[in-house]
Structures are given as C-alpha cells and as structure tokens.
Amino acid sequence: MKLADFLIEAKVGTYASQGEGGERMNDTGYKELVFKKDDLKYRDRYYGTNPFIGEEVVSKNNKAIWLMNYCGGTISQDINIKELYKFLKEAMSLIKKDRPFRGPVEYINGNYKYIDSSNGDIDNFNGIEDILYKGKKVYRLNYHGCSIK
C-alpha cells in the first residue's frame, strides 16, 4: 500500500471519525489514536486541549518511516468549541492524496471556513491550518514533517 493512501485511510479512520472522544488516555497525560493495516501502523499522540501539541507517526514493521509534528488551538474565546471541532473533523475527512497532511486547501460549511496552506510533498513539508468563523480567525495549527529513510 502506498504511504499517501495509507495516511488518508488512517486519518479518516482516526481523528476525522473518532477524535474528541475516541482517544485512549495514557497515564502521562497524552491522548492517542491508532490505526493498523497490513504491516503499517499509524499513531496520533497529542498532549493538552487548548493549546495542544502532538505527533503522528507511521511505522512499517515497527520502524518509523514518516512523522508529522503539530501544535495549535483556538485563538478566540468567542467560539463554540464542540461546533468548531465538529467542523474540523468534517474538513479532516476530506484529506487529499496529493497533500495527505491535514484537510483540503479550502472547505466551507455554514459560517465556518477551513483553509490549509502547505509547502512541499509527502517526503518533506510544512503548513498552516486556519479556521474562520464568520470571517474571523478562531483557530490555528502549525505542522511539519517528513519521510524517514
């Protein structure tokens, strides 16, 4: 299975469908989502709520082959957090093969607008994810990652 295809399946099968409640809690305080298929394993582990910081790791036969770090949170107190993260999960379910990092370049639903800008490709990338509510920026996430040889 190609890495990009696996990432899409893993991300849709974890945070986009189970996030904000389906995570396993660890005694050191991190939340974790895990997806396995054949010899590949995806792990999304993060700390905190707002702000939060985390790491996604793909391993093949128990050896890390791809990583992404991220840090973000809301930047406005005037937002319904549950509604915001529901919208984020919708955007995350629209991940594309040519940019298998976060959601699409742009997604709009009602008063919410998701914008993701990234540089690079699956082997070396960085980006910024923003969510606007009624035109006002309410959420930001920075991320970067690479394939590991």
Q: How far apart (Å, rounded) are the C-alpha atoms in residues 66 and 109? A: 31
Q: How far apart (Å, rounded) are the C-alpha atoms in residues 34 and 88? A: 19
Question: What was the pLDDT predicted at 30?
Answer: 84
Q: How far apart (Å, rounded) are the C-alpha atoms in residues 35 and 71? A: 21
Domain of residue 112, residue span: 3-147
Q: How far apart (Å, rounded) are the C-alpha atoms in residues 53 and 31? A: 11
Number of structural domains found in the chain: 1
The pLDDT tens digits for 66-87 are 999 999 999 988 899 989 999 9
Single-letter code of the amino acid located at 40: L
Predicted confidence pLDDT, tens digits, the chain (149 residues): 699 999 999 999 886 566 555 555 566 678 888 999 999 999 999 898 889 999 999 999 999 999 999 999 999 888 999 899 999 989 999 999 999 999 999 999 999 999 999 999 999 999 999 999 999 999 999 999 999 98
Question: Between the CA of residue 109 and those of 7, 8, 84, 97, 114, what are the distances in Å?
Answer: 24, 21, 11, 22, 9
SS3 39: coil
